[in-house]
Amino acid sequence: MVDALKPKRSEPDPEKTRRDAILIAAGVTWPYIVERRRADSPAVSADLAKSERALRHLQDFFGDDVSALPPPLFDHLVNVAPWTYEWTCWLSDSLHRIEPAKGYDKLRQRLTDPERFMEAWSVLQVAERLQTTGFPVAFDVPLVIEATRKVPDLVFTHPTTETAYICEVSVLFSADAHASQSELLDCIFRLFLFQGDDRVAYAGCIFPDALGEETDGLVNRVAWEIMEVRRERTYREINLENALTMALAPEADSSLVAQWANARGMDFGSLAALRSPIHQWGRLRAKISEKESQLSPDEANLLVIWAQELFIAPDRPDELITIVSKLLPDYLKVSALVLVCEGPSRVFVPSLTLGNIQLHATCRGGIEHQFLIAINEASKHKFPEEVLRNLFRAFSR
């Protein structure tokens, strides 16, 4: 939800300037992306025709200028890991399904703005799930809440009674240490982006102690190993205790890397990060307090928070559920809370119910998600039983 703000003057972004120069030098265009993904499609058993229709739609949606794409979207498009083929089709299909919704143009503006993409992407994922379970949705609908004009991220409507409910969607962004780890991931990932014909297969993971190492040193070590793989035409591993582990091989020996990744629960063609917890529950409380002030005092409300790192802190799923059950009653305007983990977590379970809280694992668009759905019995306003059933369905499949 946003209040009216004056637009800020944007300063030139040095990182974007460097990125644009790299893209121009490498000749990265939409046709390049299509051809690169086409070349890899036999190895991933992708539906090539469907994937290329999705890419054409995404080009039409986001525009012809590849350098203007939001960085997370760009990274997914140039990544040829098998799951990204399913993901591009999911994104295109979701945009098509959501297009008739009221406020779709506002969502489109947010998605095509690199600075607003992450939040808008999260809103799209929630809206698509709600819509597929029968809730009509609308975006950025102006409302007056406690004498103040507000614009909720999402409004979903009971299909029978036509009661409208506010859904706020937010992202609990990484703490500084985790942001630094993400930057290191990006630096290593870029080494594999533009490989030409002599491509190196890879998989790996960065550990928390990597932040204690010299970033340039780690990146240079990976670059050197890539060079050795190409020179010797052999499979190689990098094992830096508590900092970095990777497997690399010439493309012809990619099966060796896939075997190494599968044995460790990693994804072939991807880099992961194992992160240490950082007082996440205090950060969650602050986020809920911030968003609760924007919720309606007169109707039931739904709050969805992308909280990747909260699923790393506990060792057991019941521990995660217990913590949420203790903090949620303090927020009376939050009728239901959904926490989202995208990708691997330490508390992975297919399905678990404890009291008024459910934990579900799903896969959509090639990406694993875990959803914790908690009903707040202390809330001033309750969702009808039919709405609750559909909410649980929306975040459990």
Contacts of 66 by beta carbon, 8 Å cutoff, 6+ apart:
23, 28, 29, 30, 33, 74
What is the spatial order of strands in the sheet that 154-157 belongs to?
Answer: 137-139, 154-157, 164-171, 301-306, 336-342, 367-375, 357-364, 351-354
Please report, for residues 73, 191, 205, the alpha-carbon distance to residue 241 in angstroms, rounded to integers and kept in the order given.
32, 22, 11
> What is the phi-psi region of residue 196: left when phi exceeds 0, alpha when psi lies from -120 to 50, beta otherwise?
left
Task: Supply the pLDDT for residue 7.
Answer: 33
Hey, which residues does 244 pair with through a beta bridge?
206, 240
The predicted-structure confidence for 158-209, as pLDDT tens digits, reads as follows 988 999 999 999 988 654 444 566 677 778 877 887 667 788 999 988 876 5
What phi and psi values does residue 262 have, to the nearest 5 degrees? -60, -35
SS3 state at 232: helix
Residue 317 has pLDDT above 90, yes or no: no
Task: Supply the pLDDT for residue 186.
Answer: 76
For residue 173, give the DSSP letter: P
What is the band of 390 on the pLDDT scale with cuts at 50, 70, 90?
A: very high
Nearest partner of 68 among 26, 32, 24, 36, judged by Cα = 24
Going from N- to C-terminal start, the domains of the chain cover 14-98, 117-175+278-394, 176-273
Residue 307 has pLDDT above 80, yes or no: yes
* Number of residues that this document lists for the chain: 397
The predicted-structure confidence for 261-281, as pLDDT tens digits, reads as follows 988 888 888 887 765 544 567
Residue 217 has pLDDT above 70, yes or no: yes
* Choice between 4 and 114, residue whose per-residue pLDDT is larger: 114
Helices 82-98/30-44 angle, 10° precision = 120
Report, as an integer, the average pLDDT of 98-111: 95
Contacts of 34 by beta carbon, 8 Å cutoff, 6+ apart:
52, 55
Task: Supply the pLDDT for residue 349.
Answer: 67
State the pairing for strand pair 244-250/336-342.
Answer: unpaired
Report, as an integer, the average pLDDT of 221-227: 91
What is the band of 58 on the pLDDT scale with cuts at 50, 70, 90?
A: very high
The predicted-structure confidence for 7-41, as pLDDT tens digits, reads as follows 333 444 545 544 554 555 456 889 988 888 887 76
Nearest partner of 285 among 265, 260, 305, judged by Cα = 305
**How many C-beta neighbours within 10 Å does residue 372 have?**
24
Report, as an integer, the average pLDDT of 75-92: 88
Please report, for residues 64, 135, 155, 369, the alpha-carbon distance to residue 167 in angstroms, rounded to integers and kept in the order given.
33, 12, 6, 19
